[in-house]
Structure formats: C-alpha cells, structure tokens
Amino acid sequence: MNVATRVLEIEGNNGKGYHPFQVLFARMGITLVLCSMYVWWKKIEHAPLGPKEVRWLLVLRGFGGLFGTSGMYYALLYLPLSDATVITFLAPSLACFACSILIKEPFTRMEQIAALISLFGVVLIARPTSLFPNSASSPSPPSNGTTSAPDAPFPSDAGDYTSVTPSQRASAVGAALLGVLGAATAYTTLRWIGPRAHALISVNYFAGWCTFISLVVMTFVPSVPFLLPTSPRDWALLVFLGVCGFLMQYLLAAGLQQERSSRATNMVYCQMLFALAGDKVYTGAFVFVVAEI
C-alpha cells in the first residue's frame, strides 16, 4: 500500500503527482463506503456510533489514525519507503508504554530495550547534520547531465531521491514522527476499547474522520484541489488502496482489541521486509547501510 501511495504522489496525475490529502481522501472514501455497507449488511450492534461509554475513545482513535496516516503519506514524498517505515517502528513501543500506564498492561524490560533500539534507528535514518555532516552535501546531478532544481517540491519519479534537500528530508522525518504519535494513539485506544465495540465501528470512525478532514482541506486550500484520476493505472492504484486499506484496518482493529497490546502491535515490524523489497524491487532505490542496520 505504501508503494502504491509513493507512486501516486510522485508519478500520478500525468507526472504531476497527487497531494497526500488527495490520496488519503480517495483511499478513506472507499474504505468508508465498504465499511458502512458491511456494517449495515451484518446489522452490527451499536452501529454506527458505538456504545456510549467508548464513543470518546472512538473519536480519539479516528483522530490518531488521521495523524498517523497523513504523517506517513507526507513522509513518503521525500523518504525512501524503508526509511519511512522504520521510523514508524517507534509507534508499537510507544503504544506499549501508554498501555502500561493507562490500562495497566505489562511493559517488559525486553520491550523497553527494543524501544531504545528503535529510537537509535530513527537517528540513523534522520541523519542530522550535526552527527552526519556528509548528509548535508549537495545531491549529485543525474547521469544524463541535467541538474534538478534545488527548490523542486518533490522528486521527479518514485525511485529518485537525489533531488531531496536536507530541509525536505527534515520535514519528512518530522511528519513521520507526528505520524508515530498518531499511530501510537490509535493502537492504544483500540486496545483500551477492547471488545466493547465491534472492530468495524472503529474503522468507520477512522475512515470517516480522514475523509471529512481531507475533504475540508481540498475545499479550502487552493493548492490542494479535488482531482479525479487521470489514467487507468491511477484508478487501479486508488481502488487497490481503498480495498486493501479496509481489510488492513479491520484486521488491525480486531487483532489489537482481542490480543495483548505488546504482541499485536509488534507485528508491525513485519512491514520492514516488505518495505525493503518495495524500495529495491520496484523503485530501485539505494538504501543507506546505516538505515538497513
């Protein structure tokens, strides 16, 4: 899904790219429709708002998911998929810590050590200039002899990271870290809700808030207009995002509500294998050795 998002943001719209909120609106709009139809068909109890005692948690889950997804989508503009994915590895540990305080779940010493290792990994990925002076050097020109504009808003294709400036990379890392807070909030609230509300009700809250906020952005921000897909590939990628997003969110919510937080959230680490494969196979991007470590 993140590979498809990266391609849409950089190569979609006839090479002009889609804004992260445009992609988010399409994905969550499809997810909202599919989820609402399934909830209505199955006549799920307490739908669509959920039980009164957990509605505030459902609202918080929706906002957390909004920040988590939008932060990740912005980061994909300037960071390799594997780098952006590794930064999200802070979310499971942060969620485990929050659950240990809020709902008194155990947070073992091994999990605490894993959280520190994840934080060290973020430093290796962000490569601040005070620690990695070479990362601030000017990017090498393309092999065809042309030079990318230094103020280009994003790379020219899904596998090109040479034109990304240090400031763009820093903003992407900041957005990804904001996404970590959002994702950790979503994980924590899902575990807090537990079996008191059906998993699809929480998915509906998440998709509803994302669709509404992205629609507001496209309505009132002139630089982010409403756009229809311009090619069959764009349509296919957006439908793929919507359907897979619905399935992923349902399975995630069901898993976190039924299983102990540290076990379920740590399954997120499996994304690293697919992120590295997506970067190297599809985009052919070079992954820095320190990032792989």
Average of per-residue pLDDT values in the chain: 79
Q: Is the dihedral of CA 115, 116, 119, 121 positive or negative?
A: negative
Confidence at residue 143, expressed as pLDDT on a 0 to 100 scale: 42
What pLDDT is recorded for position 270? 67
**What confidence score (pLDDT) does residue 149 get?**
43
**CB contact at 8 A, 10 and 154:** yes
- Is the pLDDT at 66 greater than 90? The verdict is yes
Q: How many residues does the chain have?
A: 293
Angle between helices 199-220 and 232-258 (to 10 degrees): 140
- Please state the rounded mean pLDDT for residues 79-97: 79
What is the pTM for the complete model shown? 0.78
How far apart, in whole angstroms, are the C-alpha atoms of residue 274 and residue 271? 5
* Helices first, then strands: H and E counts in the chain: 12, 0
Could you tell me which of 231, 200, 224 has the C-alpha nearest to residue 73?
224
- What is residue 131's predicted lDDT score, i.e. its pLDDT? 53
Mean pLDDT of 216-229: 90
Q: Phi and psi (nearest 5°) for 9?
A: -70, -25
Sole residue written with tokens 């399934």 = 38
Q: State the pLDDT at residue 144.
A: 43
* In the block, residue with structure tokens 């630089």: 223
pLDDT of 262? 61
pLDDT at 141: 43
Rounded to whole angstroms, the Cα distance separating 145 from 94 reads 46
**pLDDT per residue as tens digits for the range 5-55:** 888 888 888 888 899 999 999 999 999 999 999 889 988 888 888 899 999
Quick one: which H or E segment has residue 214? helix 199-220
Q: Are 46 and 201 contacting, i.e. CB atoms less than 8 angstroms apart?
A: yes
Using left for φ > 0, alpha for ψ between -120 and 50, and beta otherwise, residue 155 falls in beta
